[in-house]
Amino acid sequence: MKKKQFLQFIIGVVVCTLPFTSMYSQQGLLAKDIVKKADSNMRGKTSQADITIKIIRPTWSREMKMKAWTKGDDYSIILVTSPAKEKGTVFLKRVKEVWNWIPSIERNIKLPPSMMSQSWMGTDFTNDDLVKEASSVSDYNHKLLKKETISDKDCYKIEMIPKPSAAIVWEKVIVWIDTKDFLQLKTEFYDEDGELVNIMNASEVKEVGGRKITSKIEMFPVDKEGNSTVIIYNDIIFDTPIKDNFFTTRNIKQLK
């Protein structure tokens, strides 16, 4: 092949490849942006919520009520207000530290990363699901797979793979996010063997403070038929100023 022809060939290959390189680069950026928008939609700059949790088993069920506060990705508090046995129990996330105040023994316990994959107070959610030690944005690599329909809504289907540095129990997470309102409608959690472990569905869309949120979230363990946990947001307020010093180990002892 002559030098001129060879150069033309190389230029042709580069030109043909550029659109695909650009597409995949934009796709990776787009996937992360979609997840970030869905996450911020449910958080706001700050949030304060009254929540009911229902634990459902084949032969029994029980209910808990709690209050929750968040500020960005770094701060969150969950205060259990009923039943009486667990009343006053608090979980605090402060940056990468997670603390559990147990009023019955008046102790503040720092939870190690190994405990984040354990059940949160007997529910089908993990400690990490509720306290959000891991960030769905910064602790994962994201890939847009395709678009699918969930509950009659067009959704982005996105694969999330934990980064090597992230202490996350899941090998892979798949999320479906509504293309219109950026609501996370479905999530699948896979273990290290690639087996599906949990399915989380979100529904009952409400408009709160000018934004739409899903007010009902259900978690189903795949291998435990008849088991589920339901989270219901009874009330939620966004973007009310909360000082950083509200989220301290000293303050959580005083919450009621």
Average pLDDT for 63-83: 95
pLDDT of residue 24: 38
pLDDT of residue 5: 43
Residue range 18-43, pLDDT digits in tens: 333 333 344 545 999 999 999 888 88
Residue range 200-224, pLDDT digits in tens: 999 999 998 778 999 999 999 999 9
pLDDT of residue 11: 31
- Which tokens go with 114? 């190994």
Average pLDDT for 162-170: 86
Set out the domains of the chain in order of their start, with CATH numbers. 37-254 (2.50.20.10)
Residue 10 has pLDDT above 60, yes or no: no
pLDDT of residue 2: 47
pLDDT of residue 250: 92
- Which tokens go with 160? 């999330």
pLDDT of residue 6: 34
DSSP secondary structure string for all residues of 36-96 = HHHHHHHH-SEEEEEEEEEEE-SS-EEEEEEEEEEETTTEEEEEEEESTTTTT-EEEEETT
pLDDT of residue 185: 97
Average pLDDT for 153-175: 92
Beta bridge partners of 53: 64, 231
pLDDT of residue 40: 87
